[in-house]
Each structure stands twice: as structure tokens, then as C-alpha cells.
């Protein structure tokens, strides 16, 4: 296998791992109204299952990231996937909404393993501009999966409902478990953290003291406020206010994936992420103001969808640049940095999701869009010290590239 083929194979694996979390979280979104009827409960309780899953996804990254630094990437990933399979079976046979909400927490926690370890493997394998481009591609796939997952769920919703979607997630977990056995460990024992919990805590403190890394993590978290405000509100706005069917909702919601694909993918062509971050950070508040006004004054569906499409494009630029800069700044402790990055994002998303169900859904969503966008812009004004590796301005190092080939 050539070096290019090995890189493409590794990118496919990392992309699948990165998409795992969003599919776990978002694939069942089109069935939220159906699930409210199935469990005989209100929208807020069903949205609580989204919240519990996101909280699990955030806390799971705090657990699996440091564990992968200590015990290796592959062993930790296998453990996370086994937990995912068990929790998904539990969700399928839930007897009530409370049972389902609790199991969604464990399902989200298990899904965190794929998200956090995909970024960690990239940081293990590459440095400099190669790391920047790899993380940008992985972030693009993650962003696309966040929006594409509800589309896939909507296409399946009419046939078998939410249970069919969870069986598909179970099958995806089995496939990933089989795939991870075909790759060599990216973190050899000599580079692992063997100092116990005290050193793990010191690793968290070290990453948080890294000003550039911490600021970019905060930016990433605030972009997730905007993203999950849209995820939580869109099913009720599009199907409730605008009268779309689940399939129509999925297609329109999925159209935003085009914006995120174009914007996120474009970041891989830039040598520096800082200009990308500034451009996205300025566009998000302006578009959020327009979207808030459109929702407040009852604008038609295509005005809402058009502005949302542009906002998702700006978010794709900002989120990809922020996550790439954060991981490059903290690559010396990649698992811990990846854990904190993911925890910041999904903690913000978990807090926002239940708020989206309060009051008038359009006005609440618009205010959340604006709040998250303004906080993202504010972080760009802090001007953290530049990280050369993050900006892609250092000549690419090839010290880890030759270890990237999969076994066999």
C-alpha cells in the first residue's frame, strides 16, 4: 500500500469515527414528535433525551480521552464500542421515557469514544500542515454528519419509526468495532501517560493553562450553541410552524449540509486558520440578527431556510477553524485536549437543547442563535497567541507519517 493509499484509508477510518457521535445524537431527530406520542409525553421530555445524550457525549470525552492517553487508542475504542452496543440495545427495549433518557446518557458517553479518539489519532500521526489538513477534513466530516444524520433518519422514519433507526445505529457500532481491529495502535507504550490519576489531572490543568488552546475551545463550544439550538428547534419549527412532513423536513434540513460541506471543506485550502476564524466569527452575529428578526415577525419558510443556510455556512468556517487551532495548540496531550474540546462543545449543546423547547420556539431559537454567535465573535477579539502548527505555517513534519499505514 502506497503512502497516499494509507493516508486515504486512515482518513476514511477517522472520518467514520468522527461521524459516529453526530449519528448517535441526531439520527432520531425527525422522530421526536412520534416518540412524544409513543411515550405519551410532551416535547420537553423527549428533548431531554437529546440533552442526556449530549451530556453523556461531553462527559464521555473527558473519560475516554485521558484513558486513551494512558491505555492506548485502540483498546479504549473497543471498550467504548462495546458499551455503545449494550446501551443501544437498552434504548430499543425501553419501557418508558425515563428509562430511555437514562440509557441515552450511556449511549452518548459511549459514542464519545469515537469522536475523541479520531482527533487523537490524527494528532498522533501527523504534525504541521499535514495535521492541519487532516483535522480540517475530519472536522468537515463531523459537521456534515451532524446535519446529514437527521436526513437519513427522516428517510427511515416513515418505514419503521425510531426503533428502526436505533437498529441501524447498532449495526454501525458493529461495523466500527470490526474496523478498529484492522489498524495498528497509534500511541506506542513509550508515549503513554503512565502516571496515574494525579498526572491525568495535571494534564487537564496543562491544557487549560494553554491560552490559545483554551480560547479556541471556548469558540468551538459557542458554535455548538448555535448548531444545537438549530438541531433542537428545527423539527418543531419546520414540522409544527411550517407544516412540513418528516421527509420534507429531512430534505430541507439536510440542505444545510451543503453549506457546511462547502464552508468546512474550504478551510483545508488555507495555510492559516486565523483569517478563516475571523471571517466566520463576524458573519455569524450579522446573520443571527437577521434570522431572529425573520422568526420574530413570522417570515415565510424560505426566508427562514435561506438565512439558516447562510448561518450554517458561517458556522462551518468558524467551527472547523476553532477545532483545528485548538487541537494543534494542544497536540502534546492530544487525548486530553480532544476530550476538553469535545466536552466544551457538547456541554454547551446539552444546556441549550432543553431551552429551545421553552416559550415560542421561533423567538427562543433566534435568541439562542444570536447569543451563541455573539459569544463566538467575542472570543475572536481575545487574540490568543498564535500557534504555528495550528496555522499550518510550519513545514510539515513526516516523523509520524510512516506509522499511519493500517495493518494488512
pLDDT in tens, 231-267: 778 877 888 788 888 778 777 777 777 787 788 778 7
Angle at 48 between CA 293 and CA 346, to 5 degrees: 75
pLDDT band at 1 (very low <50, low <70, confident <90, very high): low
pLDDT, residue 314, reads 92
Highest mean pLDDT among 3-12, 367-376, 393-402 belongs to 367-376
CA–CA separation, 287 and 291 (whole Å): 6
CA–CA separation, 115 and 14 (whole Å): 9
Contact 370, 292 (CB under 8 A): yes
Count other C-beta atoms under 10 Å from residue 75's C-beta.
14
pLDDT, residue 152, reads 79
Question: How far, in Å, are 49, 88, 124, 128 from residue 384 at the CA level?
Answer: 36, 41, 24, 19
Contact 220, 323 (CB under 8 A): yes
Question: How far, in Å, are 67, 120, 302 from residue 125 at the CA level?
Answer: 18, 9, 44
pLDDT in tens, 327-382: 777 767 777 787 788 778 777 876 777 777 677 778 888 899 999 999 999 988 87
Domains and CATH numbers, the chain: 3-186+199-388 (1.20.1250.20)
pLDDT, residue 82, reads 93
Count other C-beta atoms under 10 Å from residue 386's C-beta.
15
On the question of pLDDT at 212 being above 50, the answer is: yes
pLDDT in tens, 216-241: 888 998 998 998 888 778 877 888 78
**What cell does 285 get?**
452575529
pLDDT, residue 290, reads 94
Position of cell 466566520?
280
CA–CA separation, 231 and 124 (whole Å): 32
Q: Measuring CA to CA, which residue among 376, 373, 393 is closest to residue 307?
A: 373
Q: How much of the chain exceeds pLDDT 90, in percent? A: 16
Upper half-sphere CA count for residue 248 (Cβ side, 13 Å): 11
Number of H helices, E strands in the chain: 14, 0
Question: How far, in Å, are 53, 310, 314, 357, 383 from residue 307 at the CA level?
Answer: 28, 5, 11, 21, 28
Which of these ranges, 39-48, 131-140, 293-302, has the smallest mean pLDDT? Answer: 131-140
Mean pLDDT, all residues of the chain: 79
Amino acid at each position: 500500500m502506497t503512502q497516499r493509499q494509507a493516508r486515504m484509508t486512515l482518513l476514511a477510518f477517522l472520518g467514520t469515527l468522527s461521524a459516529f457521535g453526530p449519528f448517535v445524537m441526531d439520527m432520531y431527530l425527525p422522530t421526536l414528535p412520534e416518540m412524544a406520542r409513543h411515550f405519551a409525553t410532551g416535547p420537553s421530555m423527549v428533548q431531554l433525551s437529546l440533552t442526556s445524550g449530549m451530556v453523556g457525549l461531553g462527559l464521555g470525552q473527558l473519560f475516554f480521552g485521558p484513558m486513551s492517553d494512558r491505555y492506548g487508542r485502540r483498546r479504549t475504542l473497543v471498550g467504548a464500542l462495546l458499551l455503545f452496543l449494550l446501551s443501544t440495545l437498552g434504548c430499543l427495549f425501553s419501557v418508558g421515557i425515563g428509562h430511555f433518557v437514562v440509557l441515552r446518557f450511556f449511549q452518548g458517553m459511549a459514542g464519545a469514544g469515537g469522536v475523541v479518539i479520531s482527533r487523537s489519532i490524527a494528532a498522533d500521526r501527523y504534525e504541521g500542515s499535514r495535521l492541519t489538513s487532516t483535522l480540517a477534513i475530519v472536522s468537515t466530516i463531523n459537521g456534515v454528519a451532524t446535519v446529514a444524520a437527521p436526513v437519513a433518519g427522516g428517510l427511515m422514519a416513515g418505514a419503521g419509526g425510531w426503533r428502526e433507526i436505533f437498529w441501524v445505529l447498532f449495526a454501525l457500532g458493529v461495523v466500527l468495532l470490526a474496523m478498529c481491529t484492522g489498524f495498528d495502535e497509534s500511541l506506542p507504550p513509550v508515549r503513554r501517560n503512565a502516571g496515574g490519576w494525579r498526572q491525568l489531572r495535571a494534564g487537564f490543568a496543562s491544557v487549560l493553562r494553554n491560552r490559545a488552546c483554551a480560547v479556541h475551545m471556548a469558540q468551538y463550544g459557542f458554535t455548538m450553541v448555535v448548531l444545537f439550538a438549530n438541531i433542537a428547534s428545527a423539527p418543531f419549527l419546520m414540522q409544527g410552524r411550517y407544516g412540513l412532513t418528516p421527509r420534507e423536513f429531512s430534505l430541507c434540513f439536510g440542505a444545510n449540509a451543503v453549506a457546511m460541506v462547502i464552508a468546512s471543506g474550504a478551510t483545508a485550502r488555507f495555510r492559516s486558520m486565523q483569517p478563516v476564524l475571523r471571517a466566520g466569527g463576524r458573519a455569524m452575529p450579522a446573520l443571527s440578527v437577521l434570522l431572529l428578526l425573520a422568526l420574530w415577525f413570522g417570515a415565510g419558510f424560505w426566508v427562514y431556510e435561506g438565512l439558516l443556510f447562510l448561518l450554517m455556512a458561517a458556522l462551518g468556517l468558524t467551527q472547523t477553524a476553532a477545532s483545528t487551532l485548538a487541537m494543534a495548540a494542544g497536540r502534546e496531550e492530544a487525548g486530553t485536549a480532544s476530550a476538553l474540546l469535545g466536552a466544551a462543545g457538547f456541554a454547551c449543546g446539552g444546556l441549550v437543547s432543553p431551552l429551545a423547547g421553552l416559550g415560542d420556539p421561533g423567538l427562543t431559537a433566534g435568541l439562542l442563535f444570536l447569543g451563541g454567535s455573539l459569544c463566538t465573535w467575542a472570543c475572536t477579539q481575545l487574540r490568543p497567541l498564535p500557534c504555528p502548527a495550528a496555522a499550518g505555517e510550519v513545514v510539515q513534519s513526516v516523523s509520524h507519517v510512516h506509522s499511519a499505514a493500517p495493518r494488512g
